Structure 1
Amino acid sequence: MTIFPLPAFNDNYIWILQDKDSSAIWAVDPGKAEVVLDYCQQHQHSLKGIIITHHHKDHTGGVAELREQTGCVVYGPKHLVNLVTHPVDDGDSLDIFAQRFSVLATPGHTLDHLCYFSSLEDTATNAPTPESPILFCGDTLFRGGCGRIMEGTPEQMLAAMERIAALPDNTKLYGTHEYTLANYRFALSLEPDNLDLINSTDLCQQWRNRGQVTLPTELSVEKKTNPFLRTHLNSVKNQAAQQLNEIPSEDPVAAFSQVRRAKDSFS
């Protein structure tokens, strides 16, 4: 199975999953139908299915047209009754080609946010494959950042971070926005001497200079560089509190909230 992005809008990526043994593809969060339809027409592929991480229009805006034109199945949050053919929630699973994906509820950015995880075991044999595990994480986690808390709570968002952090370190993380360099500017304001962060910033800047995407990232990289997976560290939470002119909190949820609010007001 091959995974690659189709750019949409200013900074969205519609992730495409392609089976090497057929002309079928799946799309993740197709906010713009014509992007997927044009790709299918140009490369003679057919859209078999869609998975949705959350209800925001830049992730769902193309679903109705794609479903109407292709008859594809759509997996996503159960309340999206006009879009979803197969509603899913935490603990459910679905098969895409030969891989099984588990559904992880990660409320925080939105209350309905779902992530889709596959250890990439072959569903026919239950045997592991050489590829790394993968997570389609929507707007929950980005390279160097996380989604704004728009509907949920800091407690929910921290729980989502902890749930993702518990996955295998070699998990490939497929977020849906090219926010990396802006995220890294904030991360460096908290940890200016973090060599892993400095090196990752330099690498991603080179990629963007060449017009390349900075995703997916790897969980092991995020644990070393992403402030929202590092809010337990005194260096991170103290600097965030200083930016807010607040006293650093010893409570994990409050400390996470300080880092998130510092990012929200960062310029």
Structure 2
Amino acid sequence: MLRIEPLRAFSDNYIWLIQDEGSRQCAAVDPGDAAPVMAWLEAHHEWTLSDILITHHHADHVGGVPLLKAATGARVAGPAGEEIPERDLALSDGQTLSVLGRSLQAIEVPGHTAGHIAYFCGEEHPWLLSGDTLFAAGCGRLFEGTAAQMHRSLQRLAALPAETLVYCTHEYTQSNLRFAQAVEPGNPEIAARCRQVDELRADDQVTLPSHLALEFRTNPFLRVDQPDVRAAAAAQGLLADQSSPEAVFAAIRAWKDRFQ
């Protein structure tokens, strides 16, 4: 089995390092800063970086690519619909690539950016590299896409197996759960997750990966069909059509944008 380890970058980014013990090869996911990856490679000199996987074009996800590419010659894969530095493989929806002997599928998930992709591996225990689309207890801001696009993107990811591990790229879990509690104050699953995450963060521990089954129970953006979520959105005065899950999603995304 592969090992997936977080390397911290900037204030709250994670660069996921996927490691194959047998081949001593690894892949870096969204390296906005080359330094954490280079430091790991220097400390593990028998390992080589074979691949760099990019979910979208934002600088905190691609800033380290040129240096890493120059230093290691790693193959760079990223979304076909965005400008990705040093990209060797441009991926569109449904395309697959082999990374460390595993087959990964590209899933187009526009919303945060126009061409954002996620990577899904359904082999062994399924896992997802969700970038800035699906967060633990949250979802990404709408910088280039629409609420309708993001809702559809999340529904695509929600259709994956419930046991899928979710590796997103920011440590936003604690703040996302505060919002989730505001949306569903009576949800005991959210309250329990808040307590667990608060304990982890008090010790500066990583709260990821999550898994889809937990997100279905605690992530308001995957719960827009629930009566309590619809009622909370309506109470904010942002909801014109309570019958539409897409409208509920747009309302709570707007609420989250101004939530303190």
TM-score (ref. length: structure 1): 0.93
In structure 2, C-alpha distance between the alignment counterparts of 1:140 and 1:237, rounded to whole Å: 22
Are residues 1:265 and 2:258 paired?
yes
User: Which runs of 5 or more residues in structure 2 are unaligned?
Assistant: none
* Equivalence map 1:218-233=2 (5 Å): 218-233=211-226
- 2:19 and 2:27 in contact (8 A); partners too: yes
| Residues 182 and 82 of structure 1, relative CA distance in 2, 3 Å threshold | closer
Among candidates 93, 96, 105, match of residue 96 of structure 2? 93
Among candidates 65, 68, 74, match of residue 66 of structure 1? 68
- 1:134 and 1:172 in contact (8 A); partners too: yes
Which whole-Å deviations, capped at 9, do the CAs of 1:25-61 have from their partners, x for residues lacking one? 1000000011111110012122111000000000000
Identity %: 42
- Three-state SS of the structure 2 residue aligned to 1:27 is strand
Q: What letter is aligned with 2:16?
A: W
In structure 1, C-alpha distance between the alignment counterparts of 2:11 and 2:84, rounded to whole Å: 28
Are residues 1:31 and 2:24 paired?
no
- 2:197 and 2:207 in contact (8 A); partners too: yes
2:11 alignment counterpart: 10
Residue 247 (structure 1) shift: 4.7
Q: Which moved more, 1:48-57 or 1:19-28?
A: 19-28
Are residues 1:42 and 2:43 paired?
yes
2:173 alignment counterpart: 180
- Three-state SS of the structure 2 residue aligned to 1:80 is coil
- 2:223 and 2:229 in contact (8 A); partners too: yes
Are residues 1:84 and 2:77 paired?
no
- 1:5 and 1:16 in contact (8 A); partners too: yes
How many residue pairs align between the two structures? 257
User: Which runs of 5 or more residues in structure 1 are unaligned?
Assistant: 121-128
Which whole-Å deviations, capped at 9, do the CAs of 1:75-100 have from their partners, x for residues lacking one? 00124254211111101001111210
In structure 1, C-alpha distance between the alignment counterparts of 2:12 and 2:233, rounded to whole Å: 26
* Equivalence map 1:1-267=2 (5 Å): 1-44=2-45, 45-78=47-80, 79-80=82-83, 82-120=85-123, 129=124, 132-244=125-237, 246-247=239-240, 249-267=242-260
- 2:65 and 2:85 in contact (8 A); partners too: no
- 1:241 and 1:262 in contact (8 A); partners too: no
Residue 208 (structure 1) shift: 1.1
Q: What letter is aligned with 2:110?
A: P
Q: Which moved more, 1:191-200 or 1:79-88?
A: 79-88
Which whole-Å deviations, capped at 9, do the CAs of 1:93-138 have from their partners, x for residues lacking one? 0111121001100000101100000111xxxxxxxx3xx2000000
In structure 2, C-alpha distance between the alignment counterparts of 1:96 and 1:50, rounded to whole Å: 10
| Residues 230 and 58 of structure 1, relative CA distance in 2, 3 Å threshold | same
Which whole-Å deviations, capped at 9, do the CAs of 1:7-28 have from their partners, x for residues lacking one? 0000000000000112211000
Q: What letter is aligned with 2:250?
A: S
- 1:24 and 1:48 in contact (8 A); partners too: yes
| Residues 206 and 82 of structure 1, relative CA distance in 2, 3 Å threshold | closer
In structure 1, C-alpha distance between the alignment counterparts of 2:78 and 2:18, rounded to whole Å: 16
- 2:240 and 2:247 in contact (8 A); partners too: no
| Residues 245 and 100 of structure 1, relative CA distance in 2, 3 Å threshold | closer
- Three-state SS of the structure 1 residue aligned to 2:77 is strand
- 2:62 and 2:85 in contact (8 A); partners too: no
